Amino acid sequence: MMQSMFHPAGPVAQRIASLGWLLLAVCIVVYVLVMLVTLWALLRRRPVAEDVPRTTRRLTRTVMIATVVTAVILALFTVSSVVAGRGLASPTGPGAITVDVIGHQWWWEFQYRDVTPSDFVTSPNELHIPVGVPVHLKAISRDVIHSFWVPNLLGKRDLIPGQVTNTWLQADDPGIYRGQCAEFCGHQHAHMAFVVVAEPMDKFLAWIQHQRAPATGPASDEEKHGHDAFMHSTCVMCHTIRGTDAGARLGPELTHIGSRMTIAAGTLPNTRGHLGGWVANAQGIKPGVRMPPNPLNPDDLQAVLTYLGSLR
Amino acid sequence: MCRWSWGLAIGASVTLLATACQREVRPFQDLTVASDRAQRPTLSSISPGSPSPAPAPAFSPYQNNAYATGEGKRLFDAFNCSGCHAHGGGGMGPPLMDDEWIYGSQPANIFETIVEGRPNGMPSFRNKIADQQVWELVAYVQSMSGQEPIDVLPSRSDHMRYSTPENARRAEVPKQTGTP
């Protein structure tokens, strides 16, 4: 998993990185020149009888040249920054897909809309995108201002409650990139991460086809036990598992939780042990998180973990 | 003498300033209410199977806690309490922002009402809402009729709502009345 703005993997990040490197290079050159001239001015030996009017004329000329050079550099910066900004603003290219990004305290919800509402896909904390295709993002927040940031793929875009903000990204190389909330949003702002999985179009289509399917029914007795424990406990008040009676929209959807890489918004790898600790007492892992401690008895907890693990 | 009194005055004001600002603490772990089923209030002392439960806990862990009250307000809508109680104004369920309490206004009574349910419509949320969240709801239900200090009461809503914010309402004096 990679999170670095120095390794741009798409055109948007590439433009930002190029602009950054340009600004940095020019600034380094200017800085070094200014330092050298300052040193030279400090160290040079003054002639005893210098012609004062000539010095003033030379000084005026030098200052004029330096001012013109500075103005040209600033104009160059302005033009390149406007050009880069225009490139970021317009999602172009054929076959663009649209994903709704919804920010919550403290997790992400990615919704893939479709013509039929039953084909909508909701993927918490995991954004899957096809490689080489512009992906249009419509971002909104459900509570406070968050900011969507995948350093490898694009700069930041704020999520505002009550207003849709638009941006786009495109991944040219397949890979798994880590994203992060970039606007302080409360206790667990630092643990509000997500992953972007960029994969070839056929694998992406297979993924979305799989995500459309409702949850598979419990196969074994243990899974059945877990299913029943889930439906008769606190879980069902906040979470959705499509294909069952659980349909609450307060927490992340769990229909395919077994296939996800991380839990708790990129905080922990999705293993049975971590999930167990999370379900039993999430406050011990992310203090202040909206998930309350759930006093399931040990048998029920183990069965619930087996059931959730089976939801692939 | 004069210098002494000046020193005393400055010392007193510094002490006053240092202690005047009390910041609310949000100890998520310490305030977490464990699943202490035996400590839960119940409607009657009769219970099948297991021995009779102990008396109700007399205090709420989230008394005078603005954060918990705000969380309760969020959950009140999220768990659709508003579906019957209509943001406290009452509809299918009784209003919660007035001074009438059918089953008692103490935190333990409200906790019991949510967990056990009440006759004529109030469902039981036993095992459905975690104790921590029930206590948050209790804090918010109390705040609706001003049973909490004014600096704890919510001052605004997250969504458009045609009602006075909790901290701008008249604090009611609870009275035991009303028919179930």
Q: Quote the ipTM score.
A: 0.81
Share of chain A above pLDDT 70, in %: 95
Average pLDDT over residues A252-262: 93
Alpha-carbon torsion B172, B173, B174, B175, what sign?
Answer: negative
pLDDT at residue B3, as a whole number: 77
pLDDT at residue B37, as a whole number: 46
Helix (H) or strand (E) holding B100: strand B100-101
Higher-pLDDT residue of B43, A114 = A114
Alpha-carbon torsion B155, B158, B160, B161, what sign?
Answer: negative
pLDDT at residue A226, as a whole number: 94
Higher-pLDDT residue of A306, B89 = A306
Assign B35 a pLDDT band (cuts: 50, 70, 90).
very low
B121 burial class (0-12, 13-18, 19+ CB within 10 angstroms)? exposed
Reference A106, options A290, A275, A262, A306; nearest CA is A290
**pLDDT, tens digit (0-9, with 9 covering 90-100), for A273-292:** 999 999 998 988 999 899 98
pLDDT at residue A151, as a whole number: 93
**Fold designation for B62-180:** Cytochrome Bc1 Complex; Chain D, domain 2 (1.10.760)
Flag whether residue B19 sits within 8 Å of chain A, measured between CB atoms: no
Assign A231 a pLDDT band (cuts: 50, 70, 90).
very high
Q: For A229, which residue in chain B has the nearest alpha carbon?
A: B127
Name the β-bridge partners of A148: A157, A181
Average pLDDT over residues B131-155: 90
pLDDT at residue A86, as a whole number: 85
Flag whether residue B102 sits within 8 Å of chain A, measured between CB atoms: no
Decide if A12 contacts A168 (C-beta within 8 A). Answer: yes
Flag whether residue B24 sits within 8 Å of chain A, measured between CB atoms: no
Assign B63 a pLDDT band (cuts: 50, 70, 90).
confident
pLDDT at residue B49, as a whole number: 55
pLDDT at residue B55, as a whole number: 46
Q: Is the pLDDT of residue B72 over 80?
A: yes
Least confident among A47-56, A152-161, A179-188 = A47-56
**pLDDT, tens digit (0-9, with 9 covering 90-100), for A162-205:** 999 988 889 999 999 999 999 999 999 999 999 999 999 999 99
From chain B residues 39-78, the ones with a CB under 8 A of any chain A CB are: 78
pLDDT at residue B173, as a whole number: 87
Candidates A104, A142, A237, A239, partner chain B, best to mutate (most B CBs within 10 A): A237
pLDDT at residue B151, as a whole number: 87
Higher-pLDDT residue of A115, A67 = A67
Q: Is the pLDDT of residue B16 over 90?
A: no
Which residue type sits at A282?
A
Question: Distance (Å, rounded) from C-alpha A124 to C-alpha A111?
Answer: 8
Q: Is the pLDDT of residue B36 over 60?
A: no
* Most confident region among A211-215, B129-133, B145-149 by mean pLDDT: A211-215
Flag whether residue A38 sits within 8 Å of chain B, measured between CB atoms: no
Pairing of strands A97-104, A135-141: parallel
Name the β-bridge partners of A2: A177
Which residue type sits at A5?
M
Name the 3-class secondary structure at B122. Answer: coil
Decide if A258 contacts A312 (C-beta within 8 A). Answer: yes
Residues of chain B with Cβ-Cβ distance to A288 below 8 Å are 26, 28
Q: Is the pLDDT of residue B34 over 50?
A: no
Domain ranges of chain B: 62-180
Which residue type sits at A103?
G
Integer CA distances (angstroms), B23 to A10, A188, B66, B135, B144, in order? 46, 20, 11, 21, 23
Q: Is the pLDDT of residue B137 over 60?
A: yes
pLDDT at residue B51, as a whole number: 46
Decide if A128 contacts A166 (C-beta within 8 A). Answer: no
Average pLDDT over residues A125-140: 92
Assign A21 a pLDDT band (cuts: 50, 70, 90).
very high
Q: Is the pLDDT of residue B41 over 70?
A: no
**pLDDT, tens digit (0-9, with 9 covering 90-100), for B102-128:** 888 888 889 989 998 888 889 999 889
